[in-house]
Amino acid sequence: MSDQPGRAIVEIENISKHFGTGAARVDALRDVDLTVRAGEVVALLGPSGSGKTTLLNIIGCIIDPSAGRLTLDQERVFDDGWLRRDLRRLRLDKIGFIFQFHNLLPFLDAKDNVALVLKMAGKSPAQARQRAIELLDYLEVGHRRDAMPALLSGGEAQRVAIARALANTPRIILADEPTAALDSKRAGIVMDLLRKLAEEQDACIIAVTHDEKIYDRFDTLFHLRDGRLER
Amino acid sequence: MNLAYRDVRHNLFRFVLTCLGLSLLMAVVLAMIGIYNGLVADALNIVKAPKVDLWVVESGTQGPFAEASQIPADTRDAVARLHGVTAAGSITYQTIEAPFRGETLRLYVIGYQPGYPGGPETIAEGRGLERSHFEIIADRKTGLVVGDRLRLGRDRFTVVGLVEDTMNSGGDPAVFITLRDAQQLQTQLAPPAQRVLMARGDGNGPSAQSTVAAVIARLDPGANPDSVAQTVRRWKHLGALTQADQEAILLQSVVDRAKRQIGLFLGILLSVSAVVIALIIYTMTMEKLKQIATLKLIGAPDRTIVGLIVQQSVALGVVGWAFGLILILLIKDGFPRRVVLEPVNAAALGAIVLGVCILASGLGVRAALKVDPATAIGG
């Protein structure tokens, strides 16, 4: 756990999200406030339908909040409406995603899955490839750089997915059940890795998880109940 | 890195199978185009073969291909003497079926006078007609070879030469015999019928050498075909058509219905191809929705996603078209009718397929652009 939390990377103020109208209205999130600082690794917990994924999607600029303010890496991006039009570019530059089932592109090998993100960000093919190899080596999966995702073990695939998430050195890493497909040993390794990355890259990590055996690896556990956030 | 190429390479077997399916469809489309071209080429081939400028036929008819025509055999002498005519020949056409080695050959028999217009321009094998009777020059499609003997009517003929690509608009291969033999063949009766005719007191039967189907004439390069035709029409029992008239009649009267039929079928085939391509592209895209959602989530711009779909669609069309073209070029000679494919036909179909692929990929692109990146999250 960080002794001296860094500057705020994710700031959520009074964020609400509802789906539908009238009698069919569902309030997925109600006046949620949350601040996550550089170096922090936090978890969003809660039963199914409590709003965890909705909150993750809002932080990832994937869905629109109904109201509130969102600031990412000191830049106000939502204030009762998006303040930036190029949300995909924002995601590319500032946010890395880690999925439950790694979601690697099956037609690219490990190295190119990572290099793709770098190329989209404007790196030359050679630079992208070099950086991808460095990242894979750093995550101790460099020896599998030329393997297709179908030939990687669960742990290897998840480490390649983490390398992809880290490729553009994002300040925010959003992880959706990052250890759900892994055994206890590998889950621990992945969590140690995420913490190391958060500290070394001055980034924050927000993970949705149901995996009780890794709760002790987080700095803070946030519980979502009926759309409200509780520490 | 090209995502479309990498995806194709990853699913190469399925892509190749899909391309093969599409290529069969393309081969059918190209075959229909080739058959149509062959129909026109065959029809015009017979008209163009004598290399003449004027066709003198029976008055009031559009013979000898679109309608029957019979004119006196001595018309040739009169036409040959007209101002501007350099050569003239009598000619007859008829379709017969001849038994040969246990099979029946359907032949388009052209009777002409050796030494005058109307005979084959080029002999591919053997020689031309040298004797007055019972020699035959046959198109290779008949399956006959030099030296074969076959019965036409009541007489046996010997194949002395072979020609190529000489067929009528129905696809029947042509054979050339002398005018006298052709006239004999046209009016010859079976022995019982001849006996009945003789019993009735008309023992000679119809005159064997009294009529021909047409007289064809070559003109002096400076002569105006229309004005020579006008001169011929002054003989009230004769009509005259220029070469251009004859070709137009043949295309409009003889080939037109087949042309429209094939054209309609071609339109249906192209529509089916478009629907099939659209379905394939749409299905390919739907199978990739999760990957597309992931691409969107990690920040891929729309152009990357659109490129992935459109490039695969175009690749599918181009490879399918190329395989189809190769396939039809390999098998076209096995068709019972001539299949004539011009480079412009293949290029036009390629352009159409390209357009169809781009349009068809629109459905897939639409589906891809509507994908919510959030679907990548949550397993």
Q: Which residue of A has its CA nearest to B298?
A: A92
By C-alpha distance, which of A15, A62, A49 is closest to A34? A15
The values of phi and psi at residue A38, to 5°, are: -60, 135
What are the chain B neighbours of A108 within 8 Å (beta carbons)?
Answer: 1, 3, 6
Q: Which residue of B has its CA nearest to A98?
A: B377
**CA of B324, closest CA in chain A: separation in Å?**
27
Three-state SS sequence of B121-166: CCCCEECCCCCCCCEEEEEHHHCCCCCCEEEECCEEEEEEEEECCC
Weakest-pLDDT range from A121-130, A177-186, B227-236: A177-186
Q: Which of A54, A63, A88 to mutate to test the interface with B (most CBs of B within 10 A)?
A: A88
Q: What mean pLDDT is reported for chain B? A: 88
- Statement to judge: residues B103 and B207 lie in one domain: yes
B51-87 pLDDT, tens digit per residue, is 899 999 999 998 888 888 889 988 999 999 999 999 9
Number of A/B CB contacts below 8 angstroms equals 80
Q: What span, in angstroms and rounded, lies between the C-alpha atoms of A214 and A188?
A: 7
Q: Which residue has the tokens 């692929």?
A: B357
Please tell me the total count of domains within chain B.
2
- Statement to judge: residues B343 and B283 lie in one domain: yes
Q: Which of A17, A62, A206 to mutate to test the interface with B (most CBs of B within 10 A)?
A: A62
The values of phi and psi at residue B134, to 5°, are: 65, 25
B259-302 pLDDT, tens digit per residue, is 788 888 888 888 888 888 888 888 888 888 889 999 998 888 89
- Statement to judge: residues B166 and B195 lie in one domain: yes
Q: What ipTM was assigned to the predicted interfaces of this complex? A: 0.81
CB A88 to CB B374 under 8 A? no
**Domain region containing B206:** 49-253
- Statement to judge: residues B96 and B187 lie in one domain: yes
Q: Which of A101, A113, A116, A166 to mutate to test the interface with B (most CBs of B within 10 A)?
A: A116
Last residue of a domain, one of B235, B253, B271: B253
The structure tokens listed for A70 are 């969102």
CB B6 to CB A107 under 8 A? yes
Residue of A89, A119, A176 with shortest CB distance to B377:
A176
Average pLDDT over residues B136-151: 93
- Statement to judge: residues B231 and B124 lie in one domain: yes
B32-45 pLDDT, tens digit per residue, is 889 888 888 877 88
- Statement to judge: residues B227 and B275 lie in one domain: no
CB A120 to CB B300 under 8 A? yes
Last residue of a domain, one of B204, B228, B253: B253
B170-181 pLDDT, tens digit per residue, is 788 999 999 999
CA–chain centroid gap for B231, Å, is 35
- Statement to judge: residues B92 and B119 lie in one domain: yes
Asked whether the predicted pLDDT for residue A4 surpasses 60, the reply is: no
The values of phi and psi at residue A222, to 5°, are: -105, 135
pLDDT value for B372: 87
Last residue of a domain, one of B227, B253, B279: B253
**CA of B11, closest CA in chain A: separation in Å?**
8
What are the chain A neighbours of B373 within 8 Å (beta carbons)?
Answer: 62
- Statement to judge: residues B87 and B215 lie in one domain: yes
**CA of B306, closest CA in chain A: separation in Å?**
14
- Statement to judge: residues B236 and B369 lie in one domain: no
B21-34 pLDDT, tens digit per residue, is 999 999 999 998 89
- Statement to judge: residues B260 and B231 lie in one domain: no
Average pLDDT over residues B191-196: 72
Residue of A88, A112, A121 with shortest CB distance to B296:
A88
Asked whether the predicted pLDDT for residue B106 surpasses 60, the reply is: yes
Position B205 confidence tier, pLDDT thresholds 50, 70, 90: low
CA–chain centroid gap for B253, Å, is 15
B322-373 pLDDT, tens digit per residue, is 999 999 999 998 888 888 899 999 999 999 889 988 888 888 899 899 998 8
Report all structural domains of chain A as residue ranges with CATH numbers, in order of start: 8-81+88-230 (3.40.50.300)
By C-alpha distance, which of B114, B109, B66 is closest to B90? B114
pLDDT value for A1: 45
Q: Which residue of A has its CA nearest to B291?
A: A105
Distances in Å between the alpha carbon of B351 and those of B24, B222, B265, B272? 18, 43, 19, 16
Asked whether the predicted pLDDT for residue A84 surpasses 50, the reply is: yes
* 3-state class percentages of chain A: helix first, strand second, coil last, to nearest 5: 35, 30, 35
Q: Which residue has the tokens 């890493």?
A: A173
B288 Ramachandran zone, left/alpha/beta (phi>0; psi -120 to 50): alpha
pLDDT value for B49: 84
